[in-house]
Amino acid sequence: MKTFTDGFFSIDPINGFLPVKEPLLILPKKYILLQKLIDEMPIKKMNGNKGLLSKENAFEEAALELPNFLEEVKKEKDPFIIAALYRSYSFITSAFTLAKSHHTYLKTGKYGKARERLPKNIAQPYVVISDKLEVFPWLDYHYAYSLGNYHKIDKAGGLKWNNLSMAAKFSGMDDERGFIMLHVDINQYSPDLVKSVFGITQNTENPLKLSDNIALMGTTLNRMNSRRKLMWEASRWKHYNDFRVFIMGVKGNDDIFPNGLIYEGVWDKPHAYRGQTGAQDNIIPTADIASGVIHFYPQNQLTKYLMDLRQYRPKCVQQFFKELAFHMHKNPIIHLLGETQNQKGMQNLMQVYEEIYLFRNGHWQFVQKYIMQNTAYPKATGGTPITSWIPNQIKAVLKAMKVLSENMNSSAEWNKNIWKENYNKKVKLLNKQLEIVAVESFDPNEVFKLNLKFDSQDF
């Protein structure tokens, strides 16, 4: 495997999926008015006072006063400055368009329509800076909301979510920080994940090293899962709607943006891009490609959506996925282990599947609580239907497990009967949950309660 980099990210066993150094906290001095708008924006500002987004129309009025930095941004070459500018314009664009929906939500309990025109002083520099990064001009996960937006509170401390704050924020409240900084926290282990896939692709003919690298993937995913579970305390589910509307996208969210978005002074026709979502994160797709789960994805809209989301990632990540997929296509891991009867490797691979399952099933519980329990709005921030698409991917993992188990022998380390009992429990839980959500006016709490009944509750 080669290392792919754009100067901000470098996908290798040292940096994993995190930026090569901490992102810029503030913009260079010449953009002081832009920085000021970012600092004044949050519903709750750093000093505890109410910010522009707390008052109807206040943010939009201030944003219209912003000078057009088009000529300045054209000259920028430093990847960290470009990323910080992209982050700033992304936040301003989402706030400008979605503040209206947020205030309607506060009044009516339903997301209202967004503004459909982005003024020239924002649209022009934003599109130039997005072109420099080769990404879409809409808030993304990598450079804007999550990985490119962290700042260590104690510089000597680590990347645990409670030692991280956000450079730019919408609500400015602890639940927003906990929610998105936990994504960064989970990624602190991504260097080992990348190391394991480099090791797998380099050792297809060495059964022992192959098996060791699969084991490294399993233990890394296990550490990531234990961090992921902290979501329940990092961000309270009842407070998800305090900031959620600001990370919505245009594409797929027709109720909020029925006509797309006009970028004034750039294009005459409206454009539509998907919203910020953890589905733009790289951990699960990497594990899926390397472990072969990807071969069990159903051929349906969700798979198309996940593939569409590949374009919503930095170019270097897209190249990394392509190269990994190329290697794994030549040497599908289940075949490789089956041909050599590498039973230890198969046990390690089953552990990887178990961790992907636990990640997705825990994540499904996030969706049940943070989204389904809070709102009947049926679309996710990335524009996908809430109740059907996450379970689809759980099914892919379950299928991969089943096929692998057919190649495995019972042994002291792996007991087929016990495995089967646990497997049947997983299938039964999902089927029962899907039965409930199939009814139009279902009770989300009934779905959630089943997790406890099946001894599968995530916390």
Residues that bind ligand HEM (CB under 6 A): 182-183, 186, 228, 231, 277-279, 281, 283-284, 360, 363, 366-367, 370-371, 380-384, 386, 389-390, 393
Sign, CA dihedral 436-440-446-448, equals positive
Sign, CA dihedral 220-221-225-227, equals positive
Rounded Cα distance between 419 and 348, Å, is 14
By beta-carbon proximity to ligand HEM, the closer residue of 37 and 181 is: 181
CB of 366 to ligand HEM, least distance (A): 4
User: Nearest 5°: phi and psi at 282?
Assistant: -105, -10
H/E segment holding residue 165: strand 164-166
CB of 180 to ligand HEM, least distance (A): 9
Q: Alpha carbon of 172 to those of 25, 144, 185, 241, 307: distances in Å?
A: 15, 15, 19, 13, 32
H/E segment holding residue 214: helix 207-228
Q: Please, which residues bridge with residue 379 across strands?
A: 385
CB of 340 to ligand HEM, least distance (A): 29
Given a contact cutoff of 8 angstroms between Cβ atoms, the answer to whether 396 and 287 are in contact is: no
221: tokens are 């995913």
Residues with Cβ within 8 Å of 324's Cβ and at least 6 positions away in sequence, in order, are 1, 197, 201, 286, 289, 290
CB of 18 to ligand HEM, least distance (A): 12
Torsion angle in degrees (nearest 10) through CA of 277, 279, 281, 286: 180
In the DSSP assignment, the letter for residue 397 is H
